[in-house]
Structure 1
Amino acid sequence: MRIQDPATHNNNNDSSKNSSIDEKLARQKAIDDWLPITSSRNAKWWYSAFHNVTAMVGAGVLGLPFAMSELGWGPGVVVLILSWIITLYTLWQMVEMHEMVPGRRFDRYHELGQYAFGEKLGLYIVVPQQLVVEIGVCIVYMVTGGKSLKKFHDLVCPDCKKIKLTFFIMIFASVHFVLSHLPNFNSISGVSLAAAVMSLSYSTIAWAASTAKGVQENVEYGYRATTPAGTVFNFFSALGDVAFAYAGHNVVLEIQATIPSTPEKPSKGPMWRGVVVAYIVVALCYFPVALVGYWMFGNSVSDNILISLEKPVWLIALANMFVVVHVIGSYQIYAMPVFDMMETLLVKKLHFRPTRLLRFIVRNIYVAFTMFVGIIFPFFGGLLAFFGGFAFAPTTYFLPCIMWLAIYKPRRYSLSWWTNWICIVLGFALMIVSPIGGLRTIILQARHYEFFS
């Protein structure tokens, strides 16, 4: 009988332990290299600029003149400017928090939430809200893309047979059945750049064409509702529309995750540069459209400014086509984190093999789902306000502030403490009131609505 030396036995144990740890790390790295958010980290600062523009300047900009008509001149201008300042501040906080733990990066919004609130609670707080925003935006963009295609068709060919909105939504979705198979954020940078250019183009067309049309006869700037209750509900709904226009925070950490980072050159430098450029573009798009559109049409403006503008036909048709291209890019930006969550769940929790087939099936199911919901519920304006308050307000206006207070613990009554609490109170108020207005709008619109129209 051979007696084994205990030292040798321990060494064998240690080496098998080490090799199993190495195997685990290697498997983890292989999965991270496959997942869409962490697979490519060689983005430049300007990628961040146009990803942020594409994420931020959505179809929401076309609803801003309508929101102004429900808010009125004074409150409307204040709400626009305040939203721009608050969301820029909370975006700065998120960029700062991305690498606040040395040697670690919070590549996803929920990872930061887990660090701030704890493993379980962080997930429960962040993931449902983030999913509501991202899936909500994808559905709204399905409707927007379909409506803009329909408007383009009707303008270019007024004598043609009328085609249902349902079919235009399907045509729009067909693009995503192809584009959704681009593996990660960097691979959609070309689509995103095109989308960012388009957003600036159609915003410019919207306010320039409004200016050319001039102030309408008998224009009125009073509130459009005839009853005090109607005015209040419309005001709430308009706040949601404005919140929807600033939704880029839901993908900001995921965008920053694609930028390379070293201790000497952290990713927050190039990311912040990109954010500043994006916010200047946002201001150039939002303020002229909102103010000029309302100034020209008053309270008779449509909930999509391009619908109020009928002439010149070729220009408005072109603007609608620009919206389609832009919304294609935006849809991809918001879908990418959802793909990442679904693929992470399947591969890490349910132990599926990370294959192309898995990705193909998962992403096609998601596109089909957003298309189907978009076809069933195309009441665009009400959906914006409802989602805007319900989930955009927390993730954009006050969750970053709560995380900042939880992690950095600024001194009581210091400037940072006051700033964050003011943002939290305003954001919380927004979260309560705007879904009320949005729900009322949906109920009013649903009366005259036929399913699968």
Structure 2
Amino acid sequence: MKKKSYLQDQSPFNNYENGDVNKNLDDDGRVKRTGTWVTASAHIITAVIGSGVLSLAWAVAQLGWVGGPAALVVFSFITYFTSTLLADAYRAPDPVNGQRNYTYMDAVRAYLGGRKVQLCGLAQYMNLTGITIGYTITSSISMVAVKRSNCFHKHGHHAKCETSNYPFMVIFGCIQIVLSQIPNFAKLSWLSIIASVMSFAYSFIGLGLSIAKVAGGEEDVRTTLTGVVVGVDVSGSEKVWRTLQAIGDIAFAYSFSNVLIEIQDTIKWSPVVPENKSMKRATAIGVSTTTIFYVLCGLVGYAAFGNDAPGNFLTGFGFYEPFWLIDFANICIAIHLLGAYQVFAQPLFGFVEGWCSRRWPGNRFITSEQAVRVPFYGVYYINLFRLVWRTTYVIVTALVAMLFPFFNNFLGLIGAGSFWPLVVYFPIEIHIAQTKMAKYSFKWMWLKILTWACLIVSLIAAAASIQGLIQSLQAYKPFQLQD
């Protein structure tokens, strides 16, 4: 069996043909990147448009017709603005001709250095781990919803129809073990495109069902300018906590900065269109597409359900019929999360594998690859360390999801802790350092104001997540269905 280095894609002396190094390698000696703004847009949409789009009706219900759309637009602008700043940090010191930064931590190291590098890594990889666990839970909820939908159709809407999430978490984990052997982001484009199509599919289904419900006008739906009403829908304290949670949910629903640099590192270089311009174009498409879907699903969903909007109107059974369409939408959610899991896991995989290869460069278990011929595919190179480490990671995330099925509250807390540093603070600080911006200048002042305002949002969202976590712990009953 032929063997080759696990770090083949990082070596300037591999993968060239007929002695022409430049033909197959980029300027940094790595295998030539082939991504475009189209594939980068697919990665962004896969990362951003999650099943959370279907919970936006609930978020808008807490904020009302005024606060809901305003929050969606404001946070879409913040995300787009800071993402364009981060796109310029892919190369240093010059955003077009400088040396490449392969990860978010590399960008922080190049421009800021010091302890900020460790803080960035801690926030990024804790967030990525939390997201993968949350996706394991969410995908199982969608598959449970398929079984319950069929049960409700057969036995009536008031039937108990309880189903355990655990078998579906196991199935999701088994599939992820296979998908996790995709070597890196560059090989992930096909999965991201499929996942993006799935996200559009279930978003359109949810939107279409909401429009049909509004057009039907069969029920008296209460909507207000300020959302749920104190004394009618919720108590005063519940109104405060729900408002904070809704703001936090919307803010974090847009964030993809924790994988932005890794996505940009898949884009091919062109003398006409450098990587930062392609990434900014992809960011504009990804964020604008996301905002359109978020506004439509949030506002139309609120119009359909009013102040009684469920947390997720596909898995929370805001709709029961047509049951086959509900089933298809939830299957699309599960397929989308299969791809989204990989988009968020790949940077973590790459970080651990890169660190180990640098720490033990002579260890053949870590660095060598074994060629295996796969039917209908061709030759696939298996790295034993990658196989063991990634399989272990998927198993651990599945076990944590099974032990703590209310982990979405932990995820909200992790998101609150990572939104400010990853989406706002580091991109702005890098931009200030990169442009050598004068202290106390007008632009410096308003960037600092934006930083502090977003810090306040993160803090209040963290408080809401902690309150929700306490409630979940108090209500938690092991071995009972969590949906």
For 1:72-221, what aligned pairs fall within 5 Å after superposition?
72-101=64-93, 102-118=97-113, 120-158=114-152, 162-214=162-214, 216-221=219-224
Please tell me whether residue 29 in structure 1 is matched to residue 11 in structure 2.
yes
**1:40, distance to aligned residue in structure 2 (A):** 5.8
AA aligned to 2:241 is: F
Q: Deviations over 1:401-429 (max 9, x none)?
A: 12212332323455532442232022111
Please tell me whether residue 311 in structure 1 is matched to residue 321 in structure 2.
yes
User: 1:416: which partner in 2?
Assistant: 443
Question: SS of the residue aligned with 1:219?
Answer: coil
**1:337, distance to aligned residue in structure 2 (A):** 0.1
Conserved in 2, the CA contact under 8 Å of 1:250 and 1:395?
A: yes
For 1:273-312, what aligned pairs fall within 5 Å after superposition?
273-306=281-314, 307=316, 308-312=318-322
**1:451, distance to aligned residue in structure 2 (A):** 2.8
Q: Deviations over 1:287-345 (max 9, x none)?
A: 10111111221221111121222222111111111111111110000000000111012
CA distance in 2, matches of 1:419, 1:52: 27
Q: Deviations over 1:380-403 (max 9, x none)?
A: 653453233121232113321122
Of the candidates 327, 346, 349, which is equivalent to residue 359 of structure 2? 349
**1:162, distance to aligned residue in structure 2 (A):** 4.7
If each structure's helix is expressed as a fraction of its own residues, which one has the higher value? 1
Question: SS of the residue aligned with 1:223?
Answer: coil
CA RMSD, Structure 1 to Structure 2 (Å)? 2.5
AA aligned to 1:326 is: H
Please tell me whether residue 49 in structure 1 is matched to residue 38 in structure 2.
no
Please tell me whether residue 396 in structure 1 is matched to residue 423 in structure 2.
yes
AA aligned to 1:260 is: K
CA distance in 2, matches of 1:60, 1:217: 26
Question: SS of the residue aligned with 1:43?
Answer: coil
Identity of aligned residues (%): 29
CA distance in 2, matches of 1:40, 1:312: 48
User: 1:223: which partner in 2?
Assistant: 228
TM-score by length of structure 1 reads 0.87
TM-score by length of structure 2 reads 0.82
CA distance in 2, matches of 1:146, 1:47: 28
Question: SS of the residue aligned with 2:183?
Answer: coil
Conserved in 2, the CA contact under 8 Å of 1:240 and 1:386?
A: no
Question: SS of the residue aligned with 1:89?
Answer: helix
Change (3 A) 1:375 1:270: same
Conserved in 1, the CA contact under 8 Å of 2:72 and 2:291?
A: no
User: 1:330: which partner in 2?
Assistant: 340
Q: Deviations over 1:83-114 (max 9, x none)?
A: 00010001111111212424401110001111
Of the candidates 420, 426, 431, which is equivalent to residue 458 of structure 2? 431
Change (3 A) 1:228 1:442: same
Question: SS of the residue aligned with 1:83?
Answer: helix
User: 1:3: which partner in 2?
Assistant: none
- List gaps (5 residues or longer) in structure 1: 1-24
Please tell me whether residue 386 in structure 1 is matched to residue 413 in structure 2.
yes
